Structure formats: structure tokens, C-alpha cells
Amino acid sequence: MPRRAKQPALPTREFVSGLLASLQKTYTSNLEAVRDDATRPEAIHQLRVVCRRLRTCLAIYGRYLPPAAGKLRGRLRKLAGRLSLARDLDVMLKRLRRAGLDLKAVEEYLNARRESQTTHVHEAVSKRGVDRIVRDLQRLVLSKRGWPQQAKQPIAVTAKRIVKRAWDDFADAYEAADEARSLASWHEVRIHGKRLRYTLDGLKHLLGDEAEPALQVLIELQDELGAYLDSRVALEQLKDLHDFAGLDEETGHAMETVMADLRAEGKAALAAVPSLLRQIRDWGPELARKAGKGRQ
């Protein structure tokens, strides 16, 4: 029986173009959802998520992309920033409603602020630069010019370096956080943990089954760190609202109950982080090695 001819190695440029094309479709769909209804919390959340994933993809593969990709990251960051306050208000309102306490005065105040943000969100997603993101992504995906020479390397060769760099950055972040134990340091762990997660997720075809346990732990780590950081942000917001005009004594007591729950929630979430870090501490070097030997 004749041997099957060896398939040519997939160049990094083609691999990254495929990732960006998929994310561009998601971005376009989520952008239209927000334009249709800027009051929907989930629509705004999903648009911010795809902006973050696009920015992360552009950062991970930055050295293999044309120079214009840097400006694209800036536009995505600016759009996500314009949506952040509406998202924060949506999260806070959901949290207060879930508490099941009489916080009508506070909810009315936050709802009024959220309503004003609807106009702001509409303006943000209607700017010319937002449509330009779509055009620039399409141009980046389709163009064969401007890509650096190293983008011709097989993705299996590139992947080893990318996984190792993402892992090293993550390891540096959690070692610094383990020493500093500050809000900012844990935020850095979450940022680099997401980048590592997105890196592994995009390269699963090379990493095989070995990537799945690491991905699951990284997802759990993101959830716990997210709960901790969100609780701290929410506490600061509630402290600012504590002196809100018209806040009666009963509402004040209800607010204090919510704040106490937030403190307990944040403490429990942070307590779960060290064991998750221990689980993934030894996987990075092995996954980088596996990426270099993966299938094309």
C-alpha cells in the first residue's frame, strides 16, 4: 500500500489568519447585537469579551503580524473601555437584585445612571473607528503583504516559543502576587492567566489531550480571581453609594449586609487560588515541549 504523502507544515501566518477570521465574525455579530439594543447586559458583555480575545490574540502573535496590528489593538482597547461603565453598572444591579433586600432607592439611582450610559454606548458603537476595526481585521486576514519573515515558519515551531513565553509571564505574575498579596498583583495574575488560557485554547490541535486539564484549572482560576476582584470593585462602589442622598437607615443596614457578603465572597474566592496555582505549576514547560512536537 503506498505511503501517504506528508502534508506541508501550516505556516504561522495562515494559522493566525484563521484565528483572526473566526474572531472577526464573532466581533461583527456581537457589535450588531449591541447596536440593536444597548440595554442588554449580555450583549455588552459578549462584545467586551471578543474585544479582549482579539486584543489577546494580537498580543500573543504580535511579533508574527504586520505592524498595522498594533493600531488595531489600540482601537479595540478604546472600544472596550467605553463599554466598561455600563458593564460595571449591569453587574452591580444584578448583584443587588440577587441579594433579595430592600434596596429600592439604590437600585433607582443605579438604573438612572445605567439609562444614561445607554446613550453613551450607542455613541461608542456608532463611531467610524468601530467599523474600521472590521475593515482592518478583514484586510489583515486577507493580505499577504507586510507579514514578517518569521510568519512563514510552521506553527508547530512558533507554538513552542509562544506557549513558553505565555507560561513564563504567568509564572512571573503569580510569584509576584504570592509575595505582594495586593489587589493589583492578583489582577496581573488574572490578565496573564487569560492570555495563557487563550494561547492553549488556540493551540489545542497541537497540544492534544494534555492541554485540557490545564485549561480547566485555568478557567477555574479565572473564575475565582474574577470573583475576588469583582467583590473588591463592588465594595468600593457600595462604599461610595453609602452616603447617597436619600439613603434611609433601613437601606443603609441592607447595604451593610450586602457589603459583608461581598467581603466573605472575596475572601473565600482568594483562599481557593493557591491550590489551583499548585495544580498548574508544573505544566507549562511540558506543554511548551508538546506544542513543538504537535501535529500540523
pLDDT at 245 over 60: no
Tell me which CATH homologous superfamily contains domain 10-87+114-153.
HPT domain (1.20.120.160)
Architecture of the CATH domain 154-291: Alpha solenoid (1.40)
Q: Where are the alpha helices (DSSP H) in 100-154?
A: 104-126, 128-142
Percentage of the chain surpassing pLDDT 70?
A: 91
Q: Would you place residue 154 in the very low, low, confident or very high pLDDT band (cuts 50, 70, 90)?
A: very high
Q: Would you place residue 292 in the very low, low, confident or very high pLDDT band (cuts 50, 70, 90)?
A: low
Residue 101's pLDDT is 77
Q: Round the average pLDDT of the chain to a whole number and report it.
A: 86
> pLDDT tens, 189-206?
999 999 999 999 988 888
Instruction: Single out the residue of 56, 66, 63, 71 nearest to residue 19, CA to CA.
Output: 56
> pLDDT tens, 207-225?
877 788 889 999 999 999 9
Cα dihedral 163→166→172→178 (10° resolution) = -100
> pLDDT tens, 163-179?
889 989 999 998 999 88
Instruction: Single out the residue of 162, 172, 177 nearest to residue 224, CA to CA.
Output: 177
Reduce the DSSP state of residue 112 to 3 states and report it.
Answer: helix
Q: Which of 36-50, 111-125, 140-154, 227-241 has the lowest mean pLDDT?
A: 227-241
Domain spans in the chain, listed from the N-terminal domain onward: 10-87+114-153, 154-291
Q: Which of 28-37, 63-72, 124-133, 274-283 has the lowest mean pLDDT?
A: 274-283
DSSP 159-217: HHHHHHHHHHHHHHHHHHHHHH--HHHHHHHHHHHHHHHHHHHHTHHHHGGGHHHHHHH
